Structure 1
Amino acid sequence: MTTFTPFTLWPLLFSDTFKTSFLGILLEALPFVLLGALLSSLLRVFVPDEMISRWIPRRPLPAILFGCLLGILFPVCECGMIPLVRRLIHKGMPLYVAIVFILSGPIINPVVYGATLMAFRSHPELAYTRMGLAFVVAALIGLILYATVRKSPLRLSIRREGSEVHQADTRGGRVAAVLVHTSDEFFEMGKYLIIGCLLTAGIQTFMNQGSLSAIGERPLGSYVFMMGLSFVLSLCSTSDAFVASTFLHVFPAGSLLAFMVLGPMLDFKNSLMLLSLFKTRFALYLFFLIIATVFTGSVLASLWL
C-alpha cells in the first residue's frame, strides 16, 4: 500500500494527471453552468411569476409528472440545474416539483438519450431503462418529499433574494438585466463547481484502482463500486454513458444503470451546489433518498435486464 506524505502529495497536485483531470471536468461542466445561468436569467426577466404558477398542475401526481418531463423542454446538464431551479422556485414552483426536475432533468432529455443510445448501440435496452429508472426514482422522491417536508428548506439568504429590488432590471433594459443576472448566477455557482472539480481531480489522481476493483468483485459490490465511481468522477450526463460502456463486460447491467442514474443526480459538484441552495439537514436527507432509491431500483431493474 502506498503511503502519501506531504513531500509526495505536493508534486502529485501539479502532476499532468491532476491538471488534465481538473481541466477536463471543469471545461466539460462550465458551458452547462453558463447555459443554466442564462436560462435562469431569461426566466427571471421575461417570464412572469403567474405564468410559471399557471403551468404547474395543482394536484401532486400531475405536478410530479410535469416535473419529470420538464427536462425535455429544458435540456440542461446537472451542472446548470441549480441556478435554473433557484429561479423556478422564486417564480412559484413548489419545492417537491423543483427537486423532481433537478433529479430527472439531466437524464430525461433528448441530448442524454441520444448519447446513451450511441454508447450502448448493441444494448439499446440500457438507454430505455436508464430513462425509465430516472423517471421512477425522481417521481418516488418527489412523492416522499411532498408527504414529509412541510417547512421551506431553502437557505435564508436565498429566500430573501426574491424580495430584493434588482436595479439591473431598470438599468439598460431587459438585455442588460439578462447579462447582469447571468454573470451573477454564473460566478456564484462557479465557485462551488471549482471546489468540486478540485476534489474530484484529487481523488482521481490518488485513489487505488486495484483496491476498488477488488471491492467490485464481491456480491453487490459492483453496484457500490459503480455508484461510488459516478459520485467521484462527476461526469457530465451527456458523457457518462461512454464511461459506463467500458464496464459492459465486467459488471452486471444493473450496476451500469446505477452509475448512469446516480451520477447526474448526485456527485461531488452538484452536492456542493445543493448544499449552497438548501439547509444542510434537508440536503443530507435528499442525498440519502437518492442513494437508497437508485440502489434499490438498479438492483430490481437488473432482474428485468
Structure 2
Amino acid sequence: MATTRPAPTTGADDRCVKAGAPDGPGRPAQTAGERADEERRAGGGRHGNSSLVLVTALLLTVMVQGPIRRALAAPVMQSWMTVFVAVVLQALPFLVLGVLLSAALAVFVPSSFFARALPSRDWLAVPVAGVAGAVLPGCECASVPVAGALVRRGVTPAAAIAFLLSAPAINPVVLTATAVAFPGHPDMVLGRLVASLLVACVMGWLWQRLGRTDWLRPPVHAGGEGRSRGAAFWDSVRHDVMHAGGFLVLGAMAAATLKAVAPADWLRTAAGNPFAAVGALAVLAVLLSICSEADAFVAASLTQFSLTAKLVFLVVGPMIDLKLFAMQAGTFGRGFAFRFAPVTFMLAIAGAVLTGAVLW
C-alpha cells in the first residue's frame, strides 16, 4: 500500500508558519509592526537622553555664568582669547585655500601629470618640488593639505616634504611682505629665500636617504567612486576642512596658552647674547605660531635683536610651530611629526645662521 505524504505548505500558509516561528527558545515571534514600534521607542529614548543632556548643560551654564564671566574677564584669559582668535583668523583663509587646491589636485588632476612634471630621479625631484613651492600663494596652513594631496597622488614623500617646507616661505606673497617689513634691508628677502629653500631641499634629501615608509602614514581621503567630479570635489573639501581645521584649533589653543603664561621680559634678557638671541627667537617662532604672511612684521618689531636672529625667526616659523605640528600629526601621523619636527627645527636654525653669516 502506498504511504500518503502531507502536501507541503506554500503561499499564505508558509508565511503564517514563518510569522509564528519563535525568535528564540521560549520566546514568541515578533511581528514586523512590533519591531518597528520597538525601534521607534529606542530612537525616542536616545532623543530624550540627548535633550536631557542639552537641557542640563544649559542649566549648569546659567547657574555658573557669574564665575565664568569673571574668569573670562581676567587679563590672562583676555590675552589667551586674543592670541587664539588671531591665530585662527590669520590661518583659516589660507587653510581653506590649501584645502581647495588639495581637492582640485585630488579630483581634477590626473596622476600621470605628476609623473611627467617631476624628474624621475628622486634626488632631482626634491629641489624641483622645493622651487615649485613658490607657486602656492599661502601660508604653512595651506601647504600641509596640498602636500598630503601630492603624496596621495603618488609623488615621492621626499619631494612632497620639500614642497611642504618651501611653499610657506618663498612664495611671492610672503617675500613681498618681508620686503615691506624690512624696507632698509632687501638682503633679508634674499636671506629668507635662500635659507628656506636650502633647508627644504636638505630635509627632502634626508628623508630620501633615511626615511622609512612606516614612519609616514598615508594621508586618508574621502573616496570618490561612483560620483561626479563636482560631488567628489566638495566631499574632499568638507573632509579636509573638518580634519585639518580641528588640528589647527588645537595648535592655536596651545600657542595661546603658552603666549599667555610666558613672562614678558625674557626677550630683553636674551637679546644681549647672540647665541641666546638665536635660540630665543627660534623658540618664539614655534610658540607664537604666526602665519608666514604676517611673521615678517613681528620680526621687524623686535628691534633689539640682530638680523641673523630675525632671519632664524622667519625661517623656523613657517616650517615648524605648534599648529603646524598638530596639522602634520593629523595628516601624516604622530610618528612622522615626532621625528620630523625636531630635525626640521635644528636644520632651520642652522640654515638661517649659515645664511646670515654669509650675508652679514
Please confirm whether the aligned pair reaches a TM-score higher than 0.5, indicating the same fold: yes
CA gap of 1:165–1:244, structure 2 versus 1, over 3 A, is closer
Q: How does 1:1-305 map to 2 (within 5 A)?
A: 12=74, 15-155=77-217, 158=219, 161=220, 165-167=223-225, 170-171=226-227, 173-247=228-302, 249-304=303-358, 305=360
1:59 offset after TM fit, Å?
1.6
Q: Quick one: distance in 2 between partners of 1:187 and 1:256? A: 34
RCO higher in 1 or 2 (8 Å CA, sep ≥ 6)? 1
Q: Quick one: distance in 2 between partners of 1:10 and 1:214? A: 31
1:182-211 CA-to-partner distances (Å, cap 9, x unmatched) read: 111011001100111111112222210113
- Kept in 1, the 8 Å contact 2:126–2:201? The answer is yes
1:107 offset after TM fit, Å?
0.7
SS at match of 1:57: coil
- Kept in 1, the 8 Å contact 2:243–2:330? The answer is no
SS at match of 1:220: helix
Q: Quick one: distance in 2 between partners of 1:155 and 1:214? A: 42
What amino acid is the match of 2:173?
V
Q: Quick one: distance in 2 between partners of 1:44 and 1:13? A: 45
What RMSD over aligned residues (CA atoms) do the two structures have, in Å? 2.0
- Kept in 2, the 8 Å contact 1:234–1:268? The answer is yes
* TM-score in terms of structure 2 length: 0.76
What amino acid is the match of 1:277?
T
- Kept in 2, the 8 Å contact 1:53–1:91? The answer is no
SS at match of 1:105: helix
What amino acid is the match of 2:293?
T
* TM-score in terms of structure 1 length: 0.89
Unaligned runs of 5+ in 2: 1-69
Provide the identity percentage: 31
1:223 offset after TM fit, Å?
0.6
More moved, 208-217 vs 102-111: 208-217
1:278 offset after TM fit, Å?
2.9
CA gap of 1:240–1:279, structure 2 versus 1, over 3 A, is same
- Kept in 2, the 8 Å contact 1:192–1:273? The answer is yes
CA gap of 1:218–1:37, structure 2 versus 1, over 3 A, is same
